A and B are shown apart, each in its own frame.
Chain A
Amino acid sequence: MILETISNILLIVGAFFALTGAYGLFKFPDFFTRVHAASVTDSIATILLFLGLILRTDFDLVAVKLVFVLVFVLLTSPTASHALAKSARHGGVATLAESNNKDNTDG
């Protein structure tokens, strides 16, 4: 009963973080802040949601598999975001401050 309550709280908070991340994809002004919003909320939401699900299992093979997926996502998701941001930087995407500066010197 207590476990289920904790699990519910974790799931709700996790869903909230996931939604804020998706909102951030649209709301933030430049690409790097958007990566930041997406990757940070992605990680925290995944941790919270999977912990919430683990509390609903009988702590058997299903829980082990959930931990495996969680570890896997925690390894890959930030790495992918990092690689993406780095590629974007190499590909010449400017940060907000840089594009502002450029506008000022041009104008």
Chain B
Amino acid sequence: MVLAATCIAVLSVMALALARALQADTVYDRILGINMFGTKTAVLIALMGFLSERPDFLDIAIVYALINFIGMIAVLRFFEYTATSGR
């Protein structure tokens, strides 16, 4: 019961972060929303595993956390490129 409620809560956090990413004033706000979305997906995977009572798929949560970090760094790196050359 609590698990399900937590799942819904995390899903709504994801929805809010997505909304932030969709209608942001600056690119940095978008990145912020997307970063929050990524960490919450890792949490949601873990929660979903426990909800379906087969919590042995946590490898995917690790991949999510990892890919989220790398994607974030890549966005920052290439944003610096495009910010200097694109204007």
Contacts and interface: CB of A to CB of B under 8 A. Distances in A.
Whether both chains belong to one complex is answered with yes
Interface of A: 7-8, 11-12, 14-16, 18-19, 21-23, 25-26, 31, 34-35, 38, 42, 45-46, 49-50, 52-53, 56-57, 61-62, 65-66, 68-69, 72-73, 76-77, 79-81, 83-84, 87-88, 91, 93
Interface residues of B, number: 42
15 contacts: A15-B10, A19-B13, A25-B20, A31-B28, A38-B36, A49-B10, A52-B6, A53-B50, A57-B55, A69-B58, A72-B65, A80-B68, A81-B32, A83-B72, A84-B32
A83 B66 CA distance: 16
Contacts of B32: 25, 31, 34-35, 38, 81, 84
Contacts of A50: 43, 46
A76 to B, nearest CB: 4
**Interface on chain B toward A: helix, strand, loop, or mixed SS?**
helix
Contact of B39 (A14, A31, A42, A66): A42
